[in-house]
Amino acid sequence: MKIKSQPTLRARVLGGSLVLLAGLAHSAAAHAEVAFAELSRVGDTLSIRWQSSTPVDVFLADSPEAPAAQRRPVSKADADGAHDLTYTAEVRPYVWLQPKQGEGRWVAERVLPLQGGRNFRDLGGYATEDGRRVVWGKLYRSGTMAHLTEADYDYLRRLDISVMCDLRSPEEREYEPTQWQRINPALQYLAWEQPMVEARGRKGDDEGGPTLRGLMREGPVTDPELAREAFKHNYRHGVHDFKQQYATVFDQLADGKAPLAFNCSAGKDRTGRIAALLLTALGVPRDVVVADYAMSDDVVDFEKAFAAPAVNRDGTTKQSPFSALMAQWSPEARAVLLSSEPAFIEAMFEQIEKDYGSVTVFLERELGVDAAQRARLKELYLEG
């Protein structure tokens, strides 16, 4: 998969982490010796970038749990904040950055280098408000996996994913089936027999502004602002349509069933909401959560992705009902629905806080994520 814009990607999420550090000078994260780090790949070249007040020793490992004895040194006392190396091994690389003074930290690729993946990302590495970090290699978010190549299956197999939560409807799964057995035959694949509501909206939602359900009843849409308001409405109320699925994700993780991946079709809306709720439950600040949500625009060309027909096993093609419907909209209106504007996920948070007072209360009342479960999640999926 080709990332659309690496500089923009860096500015959105990694830059968002720098904003966080500047705004939380009182936190432990603000005093970390390695304040910023990223790992990216182009071909066989791994590029490691960081910011540190002291020289850093750079190590390569096959796991973010590798003890010091299993970390291979690749650069010593590196003070320029950049190191490139050729990497041709099949196993996923993890980098340990150890400053001369202070604590070290892990960094890995945010976007997995899959040839046929869509928006497959690792939620690791994000700093929390109390100075810890989300662990790498345990929490994955993704779009459809129907176009994975043989090399992709080999790559994913080595991640040891134990649970996959497919948030798509039966119609979507039939259109783009996931061959999850090829990722891990022992994998627990969870899916729900819930009809597609993402595009239709919930019954009774027609009060208080335009809705996707209402717009799609009326026919082709040409006004992008009308589409934007309808999509924001969808985010304000759509989180309730997937309470069972979202609660299951939290329950599985609290039971220690990880690595876990959750996905929808685009990997940005249903997936984006649960990712935002999960990161919030772990203590990741709101600006970083929003930046992670918005990253989808930099990772996937959704216009191209949804215009392409699916290929059946016999070589024939088919077009999704969603794509056929979207083709009737104006390019400007369609671009809104295919985007991950920060305002959308912010609308979800605003509605939750309006109705419940806080995300914490929402998680407790609607998803059953109480204080004990939140503590368990932090114990399992935070380091430091």
Region 82-89: mean pLDDT is 97
Region 120-139: mean pLDDT is 98
Q: Is residue 321 very low, low, confident or very high in pLDDT (cuts 50, 70, 90)?
A: low
Tokens for 73, please give them: 């040194």
Question: What per-residue confidence (pLDDT) applies to 122?
Answer: 99
Q: Is residue 107 very low, low, confident or very high in pLDDT (cuts 50, 70, 90)?
A: very high
Contact (Cβ atoms closer than 8 angstroms) between residue 382 and residue 134: yes
Element (H, E) at 189: strand 188-191
Region 135-140: mean pLDDT is 99
Q: Give the distance from CA 46 to its chain's centroid.
A: 21
Which range of 2-6, 98-102, 150-154 scores highest in mean pLDDT? It is 150-154
As a whole number of angstroms, the distance between CA 143 and CA 226 comes to 26
Region 351-375: mean pLDDT is 98
Contact (Cβ atoms closer than 8 angstroms) between residue 160 and residue 184: yes
Q: Is residue 376 very low, low, confident or very high in pLDDT (cuts 50, 70, 90)?
A: very high
Using the predicted structure, report yes or no on whether residue 288 has a pLDDT greater than 60: yes
DSSP class of 337: H
Q: Is residue 375 very low, low, confident or very high in pLDDT (cuts 50, 70, 90)?
A: very high
Sheet holding 72-78, edge to edge: 72-78, 56-61, 94-99, 105-107
Q: Between 3.90.1150.50, 3.30.70.100, 3.90.190.10, 3.40.1280.10, what CATH number should domain 110-383 receive? A: 3.90.190.10
Contact (Cβ atoms closer than 8 angstroms) between residue 269 and residue 124: no
Question: What per-residue confidence (pLDDT) applies to 2?
Answer: 42
Question: What per-residue confidence (pLDDT) applies to 329?
Answer: 85
Region 80-102: mean pLDDT is 96
Select the more confidently predicted residue: 16 or 162: 162
Select the more confidently predicted residue: 312 or 214: 214
Q: Tokens 């959105």 label which residue?
A: 12
Question: What per-residue confidence (pLDDT) applies to 308?
Answer: 64
DSSP 48-109: EEEEESS-EEEEEESSTT--GGGPEEEEEEE-SSEEEEE---SSPPEEEEEESSS--EEE-B
Region 159-182: mean pLDDT is 95
Using the predicted structure, report yes or no on whether residue 137 has a pLDDT greater than 60: yes
Q: Is residue 126 very low, low, confident or very high in pLDDT (cuts 50, 70, 90)?
A: very high
Residues 19-67: pLDDT tens digits?
334 333 334 444 448 989 999 999 999 999 999 999 999 999 999 999 9
As a whole number of angstroms, the distance between CA 189 and CA 171 comes to 17
Q: Is residue 196 very low, low, confident or very high in pLDDT (cuts 50, 70, 90)?
A: confident
Q: Tokens 């093609």 label which residue?
A: 317
Question: What per-residue confidence (pLDDT) applies to 304?
Answer: 82
Q: Is residue 195 very low, low, confident or very high in pLDDT (cuts 50, 70, 90)?
A: confident
What 3-state class would DSSP assign to 36? strand
DSSP 218-265: H-----HHHHHHHHHHHHHHHGGGGHHHHHHHHHHHHTT--SEEEE-S
Q: Which range, of 137-146, 217-226, 248-257, 340-349, averages the lowest pLDDT?
A: 217-226
* Domains of the chain by residue range: 110-383
Residues 306-315: pLDDT tens digits?
766 665 555 6
DSSP class of 30: G
Tokens for 211, please give them: 């809705």
Q: Tokens 């936190």 label which residue?
A: 27
Q: How many CA atoms lie within 13 A of 376 on its CB side?
A: 13
Q: What are phi and psi of 160, to 5 degrees?
A: 60, 40
Question: What per-residue confidence (pLDDT) applies to 33?
Answer: 80
